[in-house]
């Protein structure tokens, strides 16, 4: 697979400042809204909570390569993701590329699937269009997104909540729709978490399939 690491995302001034804040949090930890100090920043494998509904989609689409977009400290090779299995073993994945600017992981390649978990709510509103376009432009078959629709426990070094773009599920569905239709051959799986352990899953869609139907109405499901 040809590398396209030269395709760097261009962010706004505020977007670049946020990346520096997240780098600071990775290096030094962060303060929570309840006053607790957390040393290990973004070490959780957020995708793990959704592994059961995702696994059949990986199998259906024969996903062999994954771009983990903004994956934080997610380790796809570490055992314990499911029993003694690593995430790679559980999903039968051959290759994972981790793209995480806050940890200076800037290599990026087009892969069968792009997964983006607990990321978009951390993105400055004016950069969301470019970030989502960047995500879709590196997917060959499938994009899987999970976004939190509530405030975080974590605070930025500025004192602001780390979830800087908090919107309801239907807002995110509409926003992702507006980008995904520009990539009609790519299917989308969208989870919108209204609580830490509760998420709304929209029906998987593909804009090319809309054109194959006789009716004009595309129902919201």
pLDDT, one tens digit per residue, over 14-47 is 999 999 999 999 999 999 999 999 987 766 789 9
Choice between 180 and 2, residue whose per-residue pLDDT is larger: 180
pTM, whole model, 2 decimals?
0.94
CATH class of the domain at 13-212: alpha beta
Tell me the average pLDDT across 195-215.
93
DSSP collapsed to 3 states, the chain:
CCCCCCCCCCCCHHHHHHHHHHHHHHHHCEEECCCCEECCCCCCCHHHHHHHHHHHHHHHCCCCEEEEECCCCCCCCCCCCECCECHHHHHCCCEEEEEEHHHCECCCCCEEEEEEECCHHHCCHHHHHHHHHHHHCCEEEEEEEEEECCCCCEECCCCCECCCCCCCHHHHHHHHHHHHCCCCCCEEEEEEEEECCEEEECCCECHHHHHHCCCCCCCCC
pLDDT digit string, tens, across residues 140-152: 999 999 999 999 9
Query: Which pLDDT score, from 0 to 100, does residue 37 have?
Result: 92
Domain extents in the chain: 13-212
pLDDT range class, residue 212, cuts 50, 70, 90: very high
């Amino acid at each position: 697979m040809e590398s396209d690491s030269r395709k760097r995302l261009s962010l706004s001034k505020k977007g670049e400042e946020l990346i520096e804040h997240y780098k600071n949090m990775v290096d030094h930890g962060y303060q929570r809204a309840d006053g607790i100090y957390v040393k290990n920043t973004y070490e959780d494998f957020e995708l793990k909570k959704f592994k059961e509904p995702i696994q059949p989609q990986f199998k259906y689409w024969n996903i062999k390569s994954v771009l983990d977009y903004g994956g934080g400290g997610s380790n796809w090779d570490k055992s314990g993701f499911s029993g003694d299995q690593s995430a790679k073993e559980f999903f039968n994945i051959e290759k994972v590329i981790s793209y995480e600017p806050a940890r200076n992981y800037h290599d990026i390649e087009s892969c069968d699937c792009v997964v983006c978990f607990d990321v978009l709510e951390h993105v400055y509103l004016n950069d969301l269009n470019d970030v989502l376009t960047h995500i879709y432009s590196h997917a060959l078959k499938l994009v899987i997104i999970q976004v939190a629709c509530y405030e975080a426990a974590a605070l930025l070094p500025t004192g602001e909540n780390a979830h800087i773009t908090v919107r309801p599920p239907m807002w995110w569905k509409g926003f992702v729709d507006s980008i995904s239709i520009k990539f009609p051959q790519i299917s989308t799986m969208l989870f919108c978490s209204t609580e830490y352990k509760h998420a709304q899953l929209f029906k998987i869609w593909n804009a090319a399939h809309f054109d194959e139907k006789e009716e004009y109405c595309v129902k919201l499901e």
